[in-house]
Structure 1
Amino acid sequence: MTDTAIALLAVAALFALVLSGVHVAFALLITSFAAMALLNTFDIALSLLAQSAYHAIFDYVFTVVPLFVLMGAFMTQSRAAQELYTFLNLVFRKVRGGLGIATVFSNAIFAAVTGASVASAAVFSKIALPQMYRYGYSKRLALGCVAGSSVLGMLIPPSLLMIIYGILTQVSIGRLFVAGIVPGLVLAGIYSLGIMALGAVRPQLVGHRLAEGAVAPSEAPAAVGARASLPADDADGEDGTDPDAAPATAEGSALPTVLSGQSASGPRADASMLSSLLGSLPVVALVVLVIGGIWGGLFTPTEASAVGAAGAFLIGKLMGMTWRGAGVAFKETAITTGAIMILLISAQMYSRMLAASGLVGQVGRFLGGLEVSPTLIVLIFIVILIVMGAVLDSASIILLAVPVMFPSVVLLDIDPLWFGIVLIVAVELGLLTPPFGMIPFTMSAVIGREVVVEDIFVGSFAFFLMMLVLIALMIVFPALVTWLPSLM
């Protein structure tokens, strides 16, 4: 059996194990170790495993993983998201679809301190959905707003996917962070225009009745652990609840009402813009400090992660994080970091097996010999990533796909920085794709039995299409990705 055939069998066995329910890290280790033993000897495979474990986590840059995860965990345990959402509700209160737009931009800012799409989806399922239901939003559109905007968590830095991609490819993590800023803001803008367009074409989707009042998100009983109550929704997206009844919280009590008189898309009229602004400023300041520090050369990504974690702890304590919540944040960080560490070790072993077999080189030569444009190759890669995203989590896709795709990207003279951002958007597209897109299932778990996951997939479809628009824009205008890093 040739070396290439062994590698192909290993890849086929890898996908078979993953689809049968074996964790990706263990599937990678098992197949890579077995293939290396066949390519060489058992002793060499064992030695390579030890080397992979050492080199995968020895790099100083790996420090950014636990520190950025800790920064996001601290912010999730505080009321930072509620304060952001309250302020942005006030900013967009006179815009039709304003609550949806506020959800998008709240997610965009919150993404800059969490770096995780799933965390954003869980948090804003509790905060944004009750408000949108209160103002008569279509259930599916409300669910789609939260699901679609949560993908900003991996596109706007700091992003765990960018860190993993940078570690695997040796592309500067700092430049990746800066490269994600403009596409992230463009996607938030596309989402907002899409919501406004839906509101103009079908006004009933974004609040077809005047609400008698609303509760500020920071006062809502949908705190950590609570679940949003959902209205019934028909095929036209109409709200099926009693127009005069407030939705119930997880405890069954109605959301309290305040002064009336606001528009169908606005928050409570008597909320203080100044106090809301002051409440959201610490989060914005942390974002500017971390990302601006990297862009301006004040911090390396590793130093920025330490500054961000320390700042998030102080802000978290000022914004309601308890000592117990801090303990939960440390525990979540340890679990997440441990999982990523195992994945990186297994991915290192996988990459070395592919290189030793010569499979990666043959794939690169095959693609390079095709008389097609590099853009078509990238489009093929995007389709593969979206399909993988329908059945795998985002980190696993990066670890499986990058070792195979990246050598071809280099051979075809495609900018690795640009490709990294396009790859991340494509991976995030997969998180919204049936049958196993992770974000809809995360939201379903948070909301509970009041919603069927199919409604989330249907509501997310418009946002899926808008993400395709972003990919098209990045292909036609690569400067959307490369311009800001070029100023560093």
Structure 2
Amino acid sequence: MSPELIALTMFGTTMLLLLTGQRVFGAIGCVGAGMVLLLYGTGGIEIPFSAAFKLFNWFPMLTLPLFIYMGYVLSEAGIAEDLYKMLHVWFGRVRGGLAVGTIFLMVIISAMNGLSVAGMAIGATIALPEMLRRGYDKVLITGVVQGGSSLGILVPPSIVMVLYGMIARQPVSQLWLAGVIPGLMMAAMFVIYVLIRAKVNPSLAPVVSDEELNMPFSEKLALLRAGIIPFLIFFAMTGLFIMGVTSLVESSAVGATAATLAAIFKGRFSWSMMHEIARKTLGVSSMFLWLILAALAFGAVFDGIGAVRAIENLFINRWELSPWQVIIMMQISFVVMGMFLDDTAMLVIVAPLYIPLVKTLDLGLGSGNTNLIWFGVLYTMTCQIAYITPPFGYNLFLMRSMAPKEITLPDIYRSIWPFVLMMTFSIALVMLFPQIALWLPEAVRN
């Protein structure tokens, strides 16, 4: 059996198992272990076992439960709710200001937890009811919350980038820095879109009444205190890490500790809350751990049979695709897979093929490691599209379960397309101008 046929069999079998409803880590791990037994016999089982065991030597794995824990604490402690109240007052007089404030809220929440789930939950349960009550168009604001919450996987500290960094063996700090400018650029596009829509059609986003905003300036300044805690947490975690004061693991511990102290300081700490947060953190962390174990096992078998080199020969030599055509083809495959799989499943399925191939492509970016940093940003941005596109977009299901009853499923589907187009345009810009992603990591490194 040729390496190409083996690769096709492995991917085809994996997709078939996923379509039957099997868990992602079970399908991937089963195919990897089964194929090595079929090819090499019982002695070959050492190949996936040895690869998976490397996981226990990867100290960045320790950051995952700490970042996840921090995100849940910030959500449960009501810190995001206080932030929204502040943004409501300060942006209320701008037409579309509450929607703009919600985007800023999503960016701040993203910079504190690294997940889209927390931003989605806060936006759907806090921001949406408030904007609906004030007469905002439900389709517009539903898209704002879905698009804004997806920034959680791009703005540091991004947990998706931590996973990518571990699988691609790239510094997480460089990936985080590479995501800053694309993330802020995308947020700026969302803000401009909302302001233009509100200007063209004022009925979509009415101005908040004077009665609601009529308060002394001293009280408005007092509301700014709601932004102090998030800033301190972000600085203590990400700022110290970028400055080289703390390591990645130490940074995650600092963030988790700071979030806990913030909950205590605000008088919202309780053992029942901690029990629930610990239960959720353990569940999500265990899921990530099994996925990475399965991906490593699958990748070791895939690489061991020479499939990566065979696929590279097929793309570059037989089909005579240029390096950029290969990248475009990869991005299209991510978009298609993203309609049916979540970001982690996509990564662990295609990482054995895409990551080694990207490293060898001559993209004019410098070293192969630079290729992988840039490609990590592209992958993460494509995951944002996957989060909000039918039929199985993760954020679509979350929005449907948490949004007020006035917002229907057709409203949710209609709301996402302007944001999908803006995300696609952002990806095109990063592909055309790679320095959008690479300038900041290079500047900090130098």
> In structure 1, what is the equivalent of residue 190 of structure 2?
191
Q: Mean alpha-carbon deviation: is it higher for 371-380 or for 30-39?
A: 371-380
> In structure 1, what is the equivalent of residue 30 of structure 2?
30
The aligned amino acid for 1:292 is: G
CA drift of 1:450 comes to 4.4
Residues 1:455 and 2:400 are matched in the alignment: no
Secondary structure in structure 2 of the residue aligned to 1:153: helix
2:236 to 256, 279, 289: 289
> In structure 2, what is the equivalent of residue 140 of structure 1?
139
> In structure 1, what is the equivalent of residue 386 of structure 2?
430
Q: Mean alpha-carbon deviation: is it higher for 476-485 or for 364-373?
A: 364-373
Secondary structure in structure 2 of the residue aligned to 1:136: coil
> In structure 1, what is the equivalent of residue 282 of structure 2?
334
CA drift of 1:318 comes to 2.2
Secondary structure in structure 2 of the residue aligned to 1:345: helix
CA drift of 1:6 comes to 2.6
> In structure 2, what is the equivalent of residue 280 of structure 1?
227
User: 1:365 & 1:182 partners in 2: Cα distance?
Assistant: 35
User: 1:411 & 1:469 partners in 2: Cα distance?
Assistant: 26
CA drift of 1:161 comes to 0.7
The aligned amino acid for 2:243 is: G
1:269 to 214, 219, 241: 214
CA drift of 1:162 comes to 0.2
**TM-score, length-scaled by structure 1:** 0.85
User: 1:443 & 1:93 partners in 2: Cα distance?
Assistant: 24
> In structure 2, what is the equivalent of residue 128 of structure 1?
127
> In structure 1, what is the equivalent of residue 259 of structure 2?
312
User: 1:32 & 1:350 partners in 2: Cα distance?
Assistant: 4
Please tell me whether the aligned partners of residues 57 and 345 of structure 1 are also in contact (alpha carbons under 8 angstroms): no
> In structure 2, what is the equivalent of residue 347 of structure 1?
295
What percent of counterpart residues are identical?
A: 29
User: 2:269 & 2:183 partners in 1: Cα distance?
Assistant: 28
Pick closer, same or farther for the CA change 1:396–1:94 going to 2, 3 Å: same
Please tell me whether the aligned partners of residues 57 and 341 of structure 1 are also in contact (alpha carbons under 8 angstroms): no
User: 1:406 & 1:53 partners in 2: Cα distance?
Assistant: 18
Secondary structure in structure 2 of the residue aligned to 1:273: helix
> In structure 2, what is the equivalent of residue 167 of structure 1?
166
> In structure 1, what is the equivalent of residue 11 of structure 2?
11
User: 1:199 & 1:12 partners in 2: Cα distance?
Assistant: 47
User: 1:25 & 1:417 partners in 2: Cα distance?
Assistant: 25
Q: Mean alpha-carbon deviation: is it higher for 21-30 or for 273-282?
A: 273-282
> In structure 1, what is the equivalent of residue 41 of structure 2?
41
Pick closer, same or farther for the CA change 1:156–1:130 going to 2, 3 Å: same
User: 1:21 & 1:121 partners in 2: Cα distance?
Assistant: 25
Q: How does 1:105-116 map to 2 (within 5 A)?
A: 105-116=104-115
CA drift of 1:7 comes to 2.8
Please tell me whether the aligned partners of residues 110 and 156 of structure 2 are also in contact (alpha carbons under 8 angstroms): yes
The aligned amino acid for 1:18 is: L
Residues 1:403 and 2:352 are matched in the alignment: yes
> In structure 1, what is the equivalent of residue 176 of structure 2?
177
Secondary structure in structure 2 of the residue aligned to 1:435: coil
Structure 1, gaps ≥5 residues long: 212-259
CA drift of 1:477 comes to 2.0
Pick closer, same or farther for the CA change 1:111–1:371 going to 2, 3 Å: same
The aligned amino acid for 2:4 is: T
The aligned amino acid for 2:303 is: A
Query: Per-residue displacement from partner, 1:11-55 (whole Å, max 9, x unpaired)?
Result: 10100111221111000011111111112112322x234323321
Aligned pair count reads 433
Query: Per-residue displacement from partner, 1:254-307 (whole Å, max 9, x unpaired)?
Result: xxxxxx526xxxx64338322221122111111122221122111221111111
Query: Per-residue displacement from partner, 1:389-410 (whole Å, max 9, x unpaired)?
Result: 1111111111112221111111
CA drift of 1:433 comes to 0.8
Secondary structure in structure 1 of the residue aligned to 2:210: coil
Deviation beyond 4 Å, 4+ runs, structure 1: none
> In structure 2, what is the equivalent of residue 233 of structure 1?
none
User: 2:102 & 2:73 partners in 1: Cα distance?
Assistant: 20
Pick closer, same or farther for the CA change 1:75–1:180 going to 2, 3 Å: same
User: 1:312 & 1:447 partners in 2: Cα distance?
Assistant: 26
Query: Per-residue displacement from partner, 1:333-373 (whole Å, max 9, x unpaired)?
Result: 11111111100100001101110121111112233335444
RMSD over aligned CA atoms reads 1.7
CA drift of 1:448 comes to 6.2
User: 2:289 & 2:32 partners in 1: Cα distance?
Assistant: 17
Please state which structure has a larger fraction of its residues in helix.
Answer: 2
Secondary structure in structure 2 of the residue aligned to 1:431: helix
Pick closer, same or farther for the CA change 1:464–1:160 going to 2, 3 Å: same
